[in-house]
Amino acid sequence: MAKPCKLYNLKIIIKYKPILHKGQKRILVLFEYNSKTITTLRQKTDARWSKTHCAWHIADNAFNREKCKLPMAEDNITTLALEKIEFNIIVDDKLIQKKVLADNALPIIDKITTEKQIITLKVITIPANKEERIGIFFVSNKIILKAIKKIKNILWCDNYKYWYLPCKKEHYEALANAVVDIATINKFALSDYLTKRQAAKTLQQIAGTKETEKIVYKLNSNNLQLLTRSVELMQLMAYSKSTIRTYKNEIGLYLQIIKNNNADILTTEDVRRYIHYCIATLKLSENTIHSRLNALKFLYEQVLRREKFFVEIPRPKKHLQLPKVLGETELRRLFAAPTNLKHKAILFIAYSAGLRVSEVINLRLQDIDREREQLFLYCSKGKKDRYVRLSPIVLDVLEQYYKLSIVKPKNYLFEGLVQGEPYSIRSAQKIFSDAKIKAGISKSVSFHSLRHSFATHLLEKGVDVVFIQDILGHFDLKTTQRYLHVRRDILVNIESPIEDLYRIKK
C-alpha cells in the first residue's frame, strides 16, 4: 500500500481581523509563512506588508470582502468579528481534503483549494516601443496551459517567463472563453489599468500635456476621480487651457505625493506640511509655490466645497522681478539674424505691438485690418479682446512673407506643419533663441522680453503709462508700472553723488 503524501495532513490556518492602518480601514490577514498563500493573496487582492504589524493586510472594501466571502460592513469595520479558517492542500491538481471551520471563511487560497485555479491578468508595457500586452500569470497547470496555447496570437515571453496577448478586447474575450470552465480570471489589475488609461487620454485631450499619463497611473481610484472632477469643473467654469494645464499638473503632483491617502479626508494641517515640504525639501520658487497653492485652493474650496480651507496657510512673499529689455542696437541685430522670412515676421510683429507669444501664434488672417492698420487680438489672456496698431513696416514684412510662401496659410497667419493649425509656442521660442545666439546677445532674455522692450521703449518716448496699459492688455496698472523702474531716460539723468566728489571745480 502506497504511503500517503506528506502534504495530506498539512493544514493552513488563516485568521483575519479589522485594523486602522495609517488612517485607512484595512483587514489584517494572519497565517504561518507559506509562499503559495502569499502569492495567491497578492494576486487576488491589493495586499501589502505592514512592518508595524509584521503581517499582510488588505483594503476593507467591497471587492476584497466579496473575494474573501466576508460579510459586508454596514457601519464600521470594528463590527467585523475575528474569524478563522482551516484548509488542506491540493496535491497534483486534485482536491484531497477541504475543511472550513466558519461559514463566512476566507477562501484566500482558491488557487490551491479549489479545482478552478486563478489566472491573473496585468498590462505589461514594453519600454522600447510602448507596446501594451495582456500578461497572463498562473501557477503551472497542464490543463490551463493546453487551453491557452490554442488561443490565436498568444506568445511566450522567455525573458520574464509569462504568456501574453495583444492588449485588445477581442483577445481578452478569446482568453476568457478558452478558460471559462477550468479557471477563474482575476482582471482587477487589468481593469484598473484600462480605467486609468482612459482617464489619462481624456485629461490629455483637455489639458494637452503628455505628463498627465505619468501622473494618472500613480494615483488611487479616489484621487484619480478628484483630478478628473477638477479638470471638468475648470472646463465648466471656462478656464483657459493654460490655467487648466497648470492647475491639473499642480493637483496631480500633490495627489502623487500623498500616494494612497485620499485627498478628500486630509486636513489643513496636512496641506500645510506638504507646502512646507515643497519649500524646504524641493526648494521650489515663490512663484511656483503660489501657483501650487492656487491649484490646491481650487481643489479644496471649489471641488470639495471646503470653505476657508487655506486661511491658516501663509503664502511666501514673491520676488519682485524687473522686466529684462533689449536695447535698440540689440533689437536691430536680432531682427537681422533670421534668414527665413516667416521667422523674421514673427519677431517683428511681436515687438512692434508688444504681443505675447501665444497672441502671435493665434493671430488669424482675418485679424489683420490693412485699411485701418490694426491687429485684432481675439480672446487673449484674461479672455479679453483688444486692438493694437499694425506698423506699416511690419505690414510690408507680412505681405512679403505671404507672397513668397510656397504653402499659403489658410486660417492662422503663422501655421505649423499641419495646414490650418497654428504654429507651436515652442517653435516660436526656438526662433527667438536661435536669433539671439546668432546676433551675439549674451543677456538672459526670452521671447517675452520683446514685449517688455516694447513697453519700456514707449515709456522712454513719453507715452503715458495708462495708454501702455491698454495696449498691453493689463488688468492692473501696477503691472504696467514695473516698466517705470527700467526707463533709461530717467536713470541716465540722475547723477550719482560720487560724481560731485570728483568733479573738477573751476
Given the residues 356, 436, 452, 457, the one annotated as active site: 356
Residue 156 cell numbers, joined: 511566450
Would you report the helix, strand and coil content of the chain in percent, each value rounded to 5?
45, 15, 40
Residue 474: active-site member? yes
Give CA–CA dist 277/205, Å, rounded.
Answer: 31
Residue 452: active-site member? no
Residue 68 cell numbers, joined: 474573501
Given the residues 290, 381, 438, 482, the one annotated as active site: 381
Closest alpha carbon to 448 in 347, 378, 380: 347
Given the residues 111, 248, 451, 457, the one annotated as active site: 451
Residue 184 cell numbers, joined: 477563474
Element of type H or E holding 125? strand 117-126
* 98 in Cβ contact with 88 (< 8 Å): yes
What is the total residue count of the chain?
506
Element of type H or E holding 133? strand 131-137
Q: Give me the half-sphere count of Cα atoms (radius 13 Å) on the Cβ side of residue 149.
A: 6
Given the residues 44, 245, 344, 474, the one annotated as active site: 474
Residue 248: active-site member? no
Ordered alpha helix ranges (H), 155-308:
169-178, 188-207, 211-216, 221-236, 241-257, 268-280, 286-297
Residue 356: active-site member? yes
Given the residues 272, 306, 342, 448, the one annotated as active site: 448
- Here the contacts of 380-385 (C-beta below 8 Å, separation 24 or greater) are 380/356, 380/473, 381/240, 381/356, 381/473, 382/473, 382/475, 383/238, 383/240, 384/473
Residue 451: active-site member? yes
- Give the burial class of 137: count Cβ atoms within 10 A of its Cβ; 0-12 exposed, 13-18 middle, 19 or more buried: middle
Residue 21: active-site member? no
* Cα 418 off chain centre by: 26
Nearest 5°: CA angle at 458, between 454 and 459?
120
Contacts of 78 (CB under 8 A, 6+ apart): 18
Residues tagged active-site? 356, 381, 448, 451, 474, 483
